[in-house]
Structure 1
Amino acid sequence: MKKLTAILITITCSFLLVNCKSDNKKEDFTALTKNYFDDKNVLDPLGATQNGQNEYNDQLQFDMTDGYRNSQAAFFDKYQKAIQTIDTTKLSEEEKNSYQIIKW
């Protein structure tokens, strides 16, 4: 239950950071990608550990629970909405790749 609460708090805080308006759209996209991958690691700590993110080594999610599925749905909804606000014409090629990953 504590892990679920921590996940929900992390997602909520990330949501607030993503929604903060900035004059610099590049900083917005950089923050969006950082928050996306941080939130993704929280949802999949085993995958994060496999990818070298060692701060998740002591965590494990049970993805067969309603709580996990709700957190996962909130994660995808959040980033689906956030990605729609990005102007892709101003992104570098590397950023366009990140954009496509998040969009997928």
Structure 2
Amino acid sequence: MPRVVTTHGKPRSEKAFSSWFAEAAVAAGIAGKSAHGLRKSRAMALAEAGATAHQIAAWTGHESLSEVQRYSKAADRKRILSSTDQEQKLETSKTQNGNRGANA
């Protein structure tokens, strides 16, 4: 929960913070950005750079590591899928349960 206060010193609700942030982004000339979207982008960038779940949580303020692990899993998948050409060209050998096995 953001710790941002109103002009009267009262804490903003999560919904009010989101609205306030969106308006501030438009005023700054960066329309189409949300607080959640920027938080998610930062979490993904950290995960892709190899940060641990605890490091990501510290930066983004997540209280639950299970939420942060989503970003880590997505980064791991992206890293695997963008592996080297040599890894992508590896032949998958068939097992005995497959078509080429001795007992097939």
Q: So what's the TM-score if we normalise by structure 1?
A: 0.29
Task: Indicate the structure whose relative CO is greater, using CA pairs within 8 Å and at least 6 residues apart.
Answer: 1
Q: Which has the higher helix share?
A: 1
Normalised to the residue count of structure 2, the TM-score between the two structures is 0.29
